């Protein structure tokens, strides 16, 4: 609304209201035609010597320390992951302690039984936890970013269930017993499940809203999980071999599976870590992302390829582990903020740390037996999932 005492508005580069208007700033045009706001000459002096927050360099100075703090956080998280890796190697029901593990790594005298426990049981189990955790943490962060959906998770959206049912079908119906054969079915199942969940969640006037995608994923996971269980129950030999894998397990991991899945997880991780800038732009919306020079279609295709590779490989290694890709990205955002250039590497380290922690908890809960890691992660992740669904305003990514 224009004031009755004003005949015209100030033009660009013209001073604003004078002492009577007392705006406290004047408009000055720089060489590019943009208007800058400058304080009156006496503003800093009037603020007094104790007004440290009035200096224009204080905020940039604080921001300049942010990358250093985040880098130190990554180093600290890496140290925590190393400690958990060592704890996973030295703890278990078998008679092999820290001294035996050190002797096994340095080729010193060691009993055959202890050497078997270290190299055939604990080392593959720990490597499986590192690989599966890294894959699921990155996949969850990428899915939440590309879909702008805080409820996105490979387990919730049915991606892991799709990979699992495809692997079981390949083993049971086609007789494929080698990992280098059925891993391709894991990738195919993850891709088909992703397409099916998105198609179901997109039905209706509102499109693919976060809650609709979560509900579609939960329904798809339930259906595919039932199919997997029905197939396994028809073959007792396959059921005995894969009953723990079906709920998510790091036990009895074959070295062949780890060597085969490792390169796919590495390649998927490289693609995912390179998507940080693109996911930041996509968080602003497709139109703004294009205005910023991002190729939205290419970014989404790269994200889909990374998710399929990571989820398919992780499912082959450890089975369908739920909630890990949901809670880890949300947890790291409390420290890193919404910048995916930091969320992705933090998720890549925090997720395997959480998975190894869950595995250690499962070992101690039922010692000398154990609770499978998929059961522990489900117990940990169900509460954050319910809280996220019940929030009136979903997390801003």
pLDDT in tens, 11-32: 444 444 444 444 444 444 443 4
**pLDDT at residue 113, rounded to an integer:** 78
**Number of other CB atoms surrounding residue 97 within 10 Å:** 12
Least trusted range by pLDDT, from 56-65, 229-238, 315-324, 381-390? 56-65
360 vs 9, residue with greater confidence: 360
51 vs 113, residue with greater confidence: 113
**Distance of alpha carbon 6 from alpha carbon 140, whole angstroms:** 56
Q: How confident is the model at residue 241 (pLDDT cuts 50, 70, 90)?
A: low
325 vs 36, residue with greater confidence: 325
Cα maximum dimension of the chain: 97
Q: Does residue 368 have a cis peptide bond before it, meaning omega lies within 30 degrees of 0?
A: yes
How many angstroms separate the Cα of 131 from the Cα of each of 152, 282, 313, 334? Answer: 20, 27, 9, 24
10 φ/ψ angles, rounded to the nearest 5 degrees: -65, 140
For 116-139, how does the pLDDT look when each residue is reduced to its tens digit (9 = 90+)? Answer: 888 888 999 999 999 999 999 999
R_g of the chain computed on alpha carbons: 27
**pLDDT at residue 192, rounded to an integer:** 92
**pLDDT at residue 134, rounded to an integer:** 97
Q: Which residues of 343-366 are buried (b: 16+ CB within 10 A; e: fewer)?
A: bbbbbbbbbbbbbbbbbbbbbeee
**pLDDT at residue 55, rounded to an integer:** 43
Taking residues 64-91, report their average pLDDT.
91
pLDDT at 64 over 80: no
pLDDT at 187 over 60: yes
For 144-165, how does the pLDDT look when each residue is reduced to its tens digit (9 = 90+)? Answer: 998 887 778 888 788 888 988 9
**pLDDT at residue 329, rounded to an integer:** 93
In the block, residue with structure tokens 């709920």: 247
- Pull the structure tokens for residue 313: 């490989």
Q: Which residues of 102-116 are buried (b: 16+ CB within 10 A; e: fewer)?
A: ebbeeeeebeeebee
Length of the chain in residues, anyone? 397
pLDDT at 46 over 80: no
Taking residues 270-284, report their average pLDDT.
93
How many angstroms separate the Cα of 18 from the Cα of each of 13, 22, 47, 230, 318? Answer: 14, 6, 20, 80, 70
Of 99-108, 182-191, 230-239, 353-362, the range with the highest mean pLDDT is 353-362
> Which residues, in sequence order, are CB contacts of 71 under 8 Å at separation 6+?
none
**pLDDT at residue 265, rounded to an integer:** 95
pLDDT at 45 over 80: no
**pLDDT at residue 175, rounded to an integer:** 80
For 284-304, how does the pLDDT look when each residue is reduced to its tens digit (9 = 90+)? Answer: 888 888 898 888 889 888 998
The CATH number given to 143-390 is: 1.10.3470.10
Q: How confident is the model at residue 71 (pLDDT cuts 50, 70, 90)?
A: very high
Bridge-partner residues for 29, per DSSP? 35
Mean pLDDT of the chain: 79
252 vs 261, residue with greater confidence: 261
The count of C-alpha atoms lying within 13 angstroms of the C-alpha of 12, restricted to the half-sphere facing its C-beta, is 8
Which H/E stretch holds residue 28?
A: strand 26-29
Q: Exposed, middle or buried by CB within 10 Å (0-12, 13-18, 19+), for 12?
A: exposed
For 327-348, how does the pLDDT look when each residue is reduced to its tens digit (9 = 90+)? Answer: 999 999 999 999 999 999 999 9
| CB-CB contact of 342 with 70 (8 Å) | yes
**pLDDT at residue 396, rounded to an integer:** 43
How many angstroms separate the Cα of 108 from the Cα of each of 111, 112, 114, 115? Answer: 10, 12, 12, 10
| CB-CB contact of 192 with 162 (8 Å) | yes
In the block, residue with structure tokens 């039984």: 113
**pLDDT at residue 268, rounded to an integer:** 95
Q: How confident is the model at residue 57 (pLDDT cuts 50, 70, 90)?
A: very low
Which percentage of the chain shows pLDDT scores above 90?
28
Taking residues 278-283, report their average pLDDT.
91
| CB-CB contact of 249 with 188 (8 Å) | no
Bridge-partner residues for 28, per DSSP? 36
**pLDDT at residue 306, rounded to an integer:** 93
Q: Comparing C-alpha atoms, which of 182, 306, 170, 320 is closest to residue 243?
A: 320
pLDDT at 366 over 80: no
Q: What is the DSSP letter of 392?
A: S
**Distance of alpha carbon 241 from alpha carbon 237, whole angstroms:** 6
Helix axes 373-390, 340-365, angle to 10 degrees: 130
């Amino acid at each position: 609304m224009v004031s009755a005492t004003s005949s015209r508005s100030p033009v660009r580069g013209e001073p604003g209201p004078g002492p009577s208007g007392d705006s406290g700033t004047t408009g000055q045009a720089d060489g590019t035609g943009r208007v800058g706001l400058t304080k009156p000459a006496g503003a800093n002096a009037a603020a007094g010597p104790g007004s440290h927050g009035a200096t224009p360099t204080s905020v940039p100075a604080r921001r300049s320390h942010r990358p250093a703090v985040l880098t130190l956080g990554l180093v600290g998280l890496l140290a925590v992951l190393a400690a958990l890796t060592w704890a996973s190697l030295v703890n278990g029901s078998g008679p092999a302690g820290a001294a035996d593990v050190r002797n096994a790594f340095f080729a010193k005298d060691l009993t055959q039984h202890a050497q078997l426990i270290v190299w055939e049981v604990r080392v593959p189990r720990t490597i499986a936890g590192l690989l599966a955790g890294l894959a699921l943490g990155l996949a969850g962060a990428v899915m939440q970013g590309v879909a702008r959906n805080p409820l996105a998770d490979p387990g919730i959206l049915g991606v892991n269930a799709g990979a699992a049912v495809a692997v079981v079908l390949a083993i049971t119906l086609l007789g494929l017993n080698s990992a280098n054969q059925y891993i391709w079915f894991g990738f195919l199942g993850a891709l088909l499940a992703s397409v099916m969940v998105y198609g179901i969640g997109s039905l209706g006037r509102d499109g693919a809203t976060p809650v609709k995608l979560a509900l579609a994923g939960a329904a798809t996971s339930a259906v595919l999980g039932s199919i997997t269980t029905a197939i396994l129950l028809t073959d007792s030999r396959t059921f005995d071999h894969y009953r723990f894998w079906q709920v998510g397990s790091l036990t009895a991991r074959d070295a062949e599976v780890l060597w085969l899945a490792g390169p796919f997880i590495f390649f998927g991780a490289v693609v995912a870590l390179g998507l940080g800038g693109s996911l930041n732009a996509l968080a602003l919306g497709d139109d703004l992302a294009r205005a910023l020079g991002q190729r939205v279609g290419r970014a989404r295709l790269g994200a889909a390829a990374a998710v399929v590779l990571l989820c398919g490989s992780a499912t082959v290694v450890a089975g369908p582990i739920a909630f890990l890709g949901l809670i880890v990205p949300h947890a790291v955002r409390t420290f890193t903020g919404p910048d995916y250039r930091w969320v992705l590497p933090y998720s890549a380290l925090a997720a395997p740390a959480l998975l190894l922690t869950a595995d250690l908890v499962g070992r101690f809960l039922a010692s000398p037996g154990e609770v499978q890691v998929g059961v522990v992660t489900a117990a940990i992740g169900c509460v954050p999932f319910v809280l996220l669904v019940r929030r009136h305003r979903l997390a801003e990514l």
